[in-house]
């Protein structure tokens, strides 16, 4: 991994030690360039090159699918993770008395769409955490013959706990339960194979570990279950022969493009596609290896300074997020001290959260550790 070359793609490194990729990440020069190219093309040529724009959209769709080990026909572009999860919640064939299982420490995007089903008689069951960990046994103990969906984050946002997707996916497939994954806190930093994990639905916005601007992400819907999910928002772009405007035919697109009901965020897709190309060029295995290595350095250094690590230290439960606290100082005090030194992290649920990415250096980690009071 040529860090010197890679870091040239991230001008943020000239101003900050940015260790906050679990929040909203800086974008790369190539993503910015992709947006500029779109704007300049639109400014000077209007829609003359619209066909070329669609080719870049196709390339971004292929790249998102490749990262997931999925088929491009299983990928739709969405504006955020919430929209993707809501496509499942609102399109699933619920019956009164059904239930869905999630975790009690999920980000609201993976809670409210399910709670919103209560008027339909659908119950949301929430597995409690044990010291920040969501145990497989606690999840499956909530399941019964009325459980239709289990929906979990690949990585929990507050403390970085990495759910055992393979094990949960296998349980779901054996029981005929659908498996939905909020992948925003792992995709782009950790390897994820939707087939290996037997995932039916997945959503992830691009503005965290994928290093892309807010407002554009991807939704995966397995071909195995696509026909069982109703399309609640239907538009001109959802159907076959969508360019035959007055030849009305409400036959849905056979692919996941049926969920893209209208005009797409082409500019955002340009940026996302450029970010995905970078991740695939470097290689997700290499990225995951480096992210875990950098979090190892952080954990070791914070332990030496007497900080309490709140994240799981079990190897298979690790991610790019480390949550910690001081025995004597408040999280807000420490956050402000770091901010004054141009070191960017987050405060979540009363604790501090640090989340490095592959382009961060050992020297930046050392600066962060030395600045900690």
Handedness of CA 262, 77, 106, 26 (dihedral sign): negative
Same-domain pairing of 145 and 255: yes
DSSP assignment string, 243-284: T-TTS---PBPSSGGGG--S---HHHHHHHHHHHHHHHHH-H
Provide the number of structural domains found in the chain.
Answer: 2
> Does the predicted TM-score (pTM) go above 0.85?
yes
Q: Considering the domain boundaries, does residue 28 fall inside one?
A: no
- Tens of pLDDT along 161-214? 999 999 999 999 999 999 999 999 999 999 999 999 999 999 999 999 999 999
Closest by CA to 34, choosing from 51, 15, 14, 9, is 9
Same-domain pairing of 263 and 178: yes
Domain boundary among the residues 240, 265, 281 is at 281
Cα 96 to Cα 107: distance, rounded to the nearest angstrom:
26
DSSP assignment string, 162-183: B--HHHHHHHHHHHT-EEEEE-
Beta bridge partners of 190: 187
Q: Residue 5 pLDDT > 90, yes or no?
A: yes
- Tens of pLDDT along 145-175? 999 999 999 999 999 999 999 999 999 999 9
Same-domain pairing of 223 and 204: yes
Q: Considering the domain boundaries, does residue 25 fall inside one?
A: no
Cα–Cα–Cα angle for 192, 294, 340, rounded to 5 degrees: 120
DSSP assignment string, 185-208: TTBTTB---TTTTT-SEEEEESSS
Identify the domain containing residue 93 by its residue range: 33-281
């Amino acid at each position: 991994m040529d860090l010197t070359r890679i870091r040239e793609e991230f001008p943020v490194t000239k101003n900050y030690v940015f260790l906050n990729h679990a929040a909203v990440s800086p974008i790369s020069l190539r993503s910015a360039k992709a947006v500029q190219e779109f704007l300049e093309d639109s400014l000077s040529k209007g829609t003359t090159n619209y066909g070329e724009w669609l080719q870049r959209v196709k390339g971004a769709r292929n790249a998102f699918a490749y990262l997931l080990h999925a088929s491009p026909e299983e990928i739709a572009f969405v504006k955020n993770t919430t929209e993707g999860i809501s496509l499942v919640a609102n399109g699933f064939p619920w019956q009164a008395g059904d239930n869905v299982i999630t975790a009690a420490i999920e980000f609201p995007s993976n809670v409210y769409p399910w709670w919103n089903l209560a008027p339909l008689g659908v119950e949301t069951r929430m597995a409690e955490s044990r010291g920040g960990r969501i145990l497989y046994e606690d999840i499956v103990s909530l399941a019964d013959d009325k459980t239709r969906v289990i929906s979990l984050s690949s990585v929990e946002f507050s403390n970085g706990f990495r759910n055992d997707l393979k094990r949960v996916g296998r349980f779901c497939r054996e029981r005929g339960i659908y498996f939905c994954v909020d992948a925003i806190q792992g995709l782009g930093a950790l390897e994820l194979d939707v087939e290996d994990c037997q995932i039916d639905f997945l959503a992830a916005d691009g503005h965290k570990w994928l290093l892309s601007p807010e407002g554009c992400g991807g939704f995966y819907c397995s071909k195995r279950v696509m026909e069982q999910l109703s399309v609640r928002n239907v538009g001109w772009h959802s159907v076959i022969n969508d360019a035959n405007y007055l030849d009305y035919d409400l036959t849905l697109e056979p692919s996941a493009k049926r969920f893209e009901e209208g005009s797409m965020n082409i500019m955002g897709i340009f940026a996302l596609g450029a970010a995905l190309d970078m991740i695939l060029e470097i290689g997700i295995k290499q990225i995951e290896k480096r992210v875990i290595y950098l979090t190892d350095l952080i954990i070791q250094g914070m332990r030496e300074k007497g900080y309490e690590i709140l994240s799981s230290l079990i190897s298979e439960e690790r991610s790019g997020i480390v949550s910690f606290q001081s025995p004597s100082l408040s999280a807000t005090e420490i956050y402000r001290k770091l901010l004054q030194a141009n070191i960017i992290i987050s405060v979540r649920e009363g604790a501090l959260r640090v989340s490095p990415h592959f382009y961060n250096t050992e020297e930046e980690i050392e600066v962060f550790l030395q600045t900690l009071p």
